[in-house]
Structure 1
């Protein structure tokens, strides 16, 4: 099932409408940065970025809306990445922009609902899922549930050439958001979540999306051992530390000994780098800039 089909149709229509024109992105919060990511994946360049609410250093080339006075509205197309208001409408109308030369991205994707533009907001809107509500469920070595940065996950997955037989396993999968994004890349999905409430939500989310080729475990991650043998990509977004983390790494290493193969560990929100490489089995191979709290994701490999 292609979870992105309706989303992609909307993006295609927006690109077609703005084709050949100077492209202006107004609003550089999460929604604006997210849509910049979407356009970058399509090879589409933004010519001007406008944001009136943050004072960016000049090297970032982010302008205020006064730049609209200097541009020809007949040659430009404006994408608003915030909740439309009367002030922005007034500025656009005064500068000569009309319904053929600008659109509001939030309205285009969500109608009258006030949402942030993101993959997860789209899934929640289209399939009535529950992904983004945070749960403070810290326990033992485990950290609290947070959904992370969805477009960073796509950026990471785009770095790899996945094959249909590849398996992707998420440690601390929470409500299943990362696995939903990985569905377009891998033929087999799996995850483990110790919190029963989050595990139940993940299963409901998958059912609502019509996903079938997956397995979820409600357990301590350190108890998942032979089940790992069917996977070669493993993902973590800072799900736990301490003894649990050490045991999970050892379990992956044991899985490699049982079933030699190339194994890739994708580790976001890195806090335990030295514990990954301490047995000299996993090798650090790459650091990918991302928009997680620590601004990068580490890649480690075996085999």
Structure 2
């Protein structure tokens, strides 16, 4: 785990561990924060959430999802009155009055995660930055690892960047977006790995470095990545400098030109980095690296593209395929057939 996240984890853990062996309702599940708290509670503490409460009852929401309206507290339904409430949205005077009317007491039977994590600085101010590469998220903050690092250390991970804003134009690349621990940790768990000193992972199309931070947080001692767009690369460099992370190898350039550098890595991560034309060349480079230095290699393939061209190299085979909680749900794991 990254030391820079110790403070964040302690804030979350102090509340959750106070609720061990209690029934829990998450209020405000319609946000990323709600989904993050649900995942974190189960992943780190084995706490299963009993009730998901949302004020957003959009018609597009599937009825098969067990999400309740706040009015469930008025119905005396089953044993929800015995549950503690975790707030996944900022506490307002109106909500505080409702909770009190329902019989809940702050820091006893309901807990305000936003106040614990961000204090009163819950809403980021208007960003006057005109540079698309340096723009930051405005409005309500979410509670999650990378957003807290943005708030605490001045990093910039989450704001997406359209391909139209790129200065180094390439027909084969894709827009910048970010995946976090909530998405990546379950993927690595499916690989059944406890990173050792000999394990190193390389991220193709690493963007601002969010996935690289996540790999370090998971326990990889060596993490590398390449980014084609120079200005995004500069943002990533600033992020790692702000966090004091010197264990990463950050490269700027065309992924097709990364060859001998691959010889020190045995894990390769692809999250929508480029099209099949570039992908084919990169996979061949990984194959050549394998032939230069025989070792067990693993490819994490998190992109909406047929993976068969990887198997056609004769080096790799698909060993696992599963879904995760993400817009792009399907993940494939391939490994070298021999080591």
Q: Structure 2 CA distance, aligned partners of 1:288 and 1:242?
A: 21
Partner of 1:135: 161
Structure-2 separation of matches of 1:242 and 1:296 = 17
Q: Measure, in 2, the Cα distance between the counterparts of 1:86 and 1:278.
A: 61
The range that moved more, 76-85 or 267-276, is 267-276
Question: Contact conserved, 1:149 with 1:292, CA < 8 A, in 2?
Answer: no
SS of structure 1 residue aligned to 2:91: coil
Tell whether the 8 Å contact from 2:146 to 2:180 is kept in structure 1 after alignment.
no
Contact persistence 2:73–2:81 (CA under 8 A): no
Task: Quote the residue 1:201 is aligned against.
Answer: 235
Structure 1: 5+ residue runs without aligned partners?
none
Q: Secondary structure at the match of 1:97?
A: coil
Residue pair 1:241, 1:272 contacting (<8 A) in 2 also: no
Give the C-alpha shift of residue 299 in structure 1: 0.8
Q: What is the correspondence of 1:253-268 to structure 2 with a 5 Å cutoff?
A: 253-268=287-302
2:12/2:117 contact within 8 Å kept: no
Partner of 1:20: 21
Q: Does 1:60 align with 2:65?
A: yes
Partner of 1:173: 206
Match of 2:175 in 1: 144
CA distance in 2, matches of 1:127, 1:288: 35
2:118 matched residue in structure 1: 110
Partners of 1:258 and 1:98 in 2: how far apart? 64
Partner Cα distance (2:26, 2:221) in 1: 36
Task: Tell me how far 1:87 sits from its aligned partner.
Answer: 3.4
- Determine if contact 1:269/1:293 at 8 Å carries over to the other structure: no
Q: Deviations over 1:130-183 (max 9, x none)?
A: 111211236221001111354111221233322122101000000000000110
Quote the offset at 1:222 in angstroms.
0.5
Matched, 1:300 2:334: yes
User: Partner residue of 1:39?
Assistant: 41
SS at match of 1:158: helix
Say which SS state the counterpart of residue 291 (structure 1) adopts.
Answer: coil
Measured on the aligned residues, the alpha-carbon RMSD in Å equals 1.9
Bigger shift: 22-31 or 65-74? Answer: 65-74
Is 1:157–1:182's contact at 8 Å kept on the other side of the alignment? Answer: no
Contact residue 73 and residue 95 of structure 1 kept, 8 A: no
Structure 1, 50-59 or 225-234: larger mean CA deviation: 50-59
**Are 1:247 and 2:281 counterparts?**
yes
Aligned residue in 1 for 2:272: 238
Kept in 2: contact 1:195–1:218 (CA 8 A): yes
The Cα shift of 1:30 comes to 1.3
Secondary structure of 2:3's counterpart equals coil
Gaps of 5+ in 2: 124-140, 165-169
Residue 120 of structure 1: how far off its partner (Å): 1.4
